[in-house]
Amino acid sequence: MRAMVLDAPGRPLRAATVPTPQPGPGQVRLQVLTCGVCRTDLHVADGELTEPKLPLVLGHEIVGTVEARGLDAHRYAVGARVGVPWLGWTCGECVFCRRGLENLCERARFTGYQLDGGYAEYTVADERFCFPIPDSYRDVEAAPLLCAGLIGYRALRAAGNPERLGIYGFGAAAHIVTQVARHEGRRVFAFTRAGDTAAQTFARTLGAEWSGASDDAPPEPLDAAIIFAPVGALVPAALRTVTKGGTVVCAGIHMSDIPAFPYEILWGERVVRSVANLTRKDGEEFLALAPQIPVRTEVTVYPLEQANEALAQLRAGQITGAAVLSLSGRT
């Protein structure tokens, strides 16, 4: 099969022909229709996440068609359209799994990191961690729901019940979570890189009532903020915008160092927390909710062979909404 392979961090992906994977017990093999390109893929490719399998096929927002089933894999019929997220396997036995926190599993394996992912014509996945894809979404529209959507949803829940929600970094996750937050009657304030008027306009078209640069003061205090951009300096910036009792959620898997800040901006029972990975429950809840709103995703589609270009444009902040690779030639 054709695949884009990461041989080592810091190197471009290599277009290769590799053996088509065989589904093991409990696994399905998917013909990949499309795979989203996530900022986490950049952190893996750049070596900021330090434990990838190598060589590695990136990609953890996979939409594919079940094409073969391993021993004892009966959950999905051949031909079913399913999604594969970042959480690819958990042990079910550790203290976190037993507490319902499988996102924190001590032995978790992640798609496109410790397991080969979706930048390829085929992939295999544990059927217990796959999700049915809602029928109302086209393949490329569905892909960003599987990480940007799920992580955004988990981050929104972690933010509490804010009336006024700040969002820092207006990429794939933000454009989805804004729609969910607006649906729930929350007021959204979007912060982007200074001068990124395209992203600021995009945020307002999705229902943000205000948008500005990340060091601007919003017109009124916020009740919570979610940081999607991997920039540690945004933590004190967000804390300064959040009122007493408010939460700042760091939703990325990697962030540059957070600069020192005065205690007074944390005082007043403000909270700083992270959100890590996802649980299957998050996925089930979000994929049931998304078509009801309905969440619409804005995508820029690339062929598989242009994965490096997609990653470069994501790094440069040049993508409105989400980048996806299409394997089927369909957009």
The binding site for Zn ion (CB under 5 A) comprises: 38, 40, 90-91, 94, 97, 105, 147
What's the closest the beta carbon of residue 36 comes to Zn ion, in angstroms? 7
Return d(Cα 120, Cα 171) in angstroms, integer: 24
- N- to C-terminal Cα separation, the chain: 21
Q: Pick the closest to residue 87 from 154, 170, 14 (CA basis).
A: 154
**Nearer to Zn ion among residue 147 and residue 314 (C-beta):** 147
Q: How far is the CB of 105 from Zn ion (least distance, A)?
A: 3
> Considering beta carbons, is residue 146 or 301 the nearer one to Zn ion?
146
Question: Which residues neighbour 102 within 8 Å (Cβ) at sequence distance 6 or greater?
Answer: 87, 90, 92, 96, 108, 279, 280
Nearer to Zn ion by Cβ, of 38 and 314: the residue is 38
Indicate the residue among 105 and 156 with the shorter CB distance to Zn ion. Answer: 105
Place of tokens 């800040």: 261
C-alpha 208/C-alpha 181 separation (Å) is: 10
What the block records as the tokens of 234 is 């945004």
Our CA angle for 155, 158, 161, nearest 5°, is 110
Find the shortest distance in angstroms from Cβ 152 to Zn ion: 10
Q: C-beta of 187: minimal distance to Zn ion in Å?
A: 27
The least distance separating Zn ion from the CB of residue 28, rounded to whole angstroms, comes to 21
Helices (H) and strands (E) in the chain, counts: 9, 18
Q: CB-wise, 59 or 166, nearer to Zn ion? A: 59
Find the shortest distance in angstroms from Cβ 154 to Zn ion: 12
55: preceding bond cis by omega (within 30 degrees): yes
User: Is the N-terminal amide bond of 132 cis, ω within 30° of 0?
Assistant: no
SS3 call for 182: helix
Smaller CB separation from Zn ion, 105 or 242: 105
Which CB, 149 or 246, lies closer to Zn ion? 149
Q: How far is CA 26 from CA 22, 73, 74, 128, 129, in A?
A: 12, 4, 8, 8, 10
Residue 142 C-beta: closest distance to Zn ion, Å: 14
Longest CA–CA separation in the chain, Å: 58
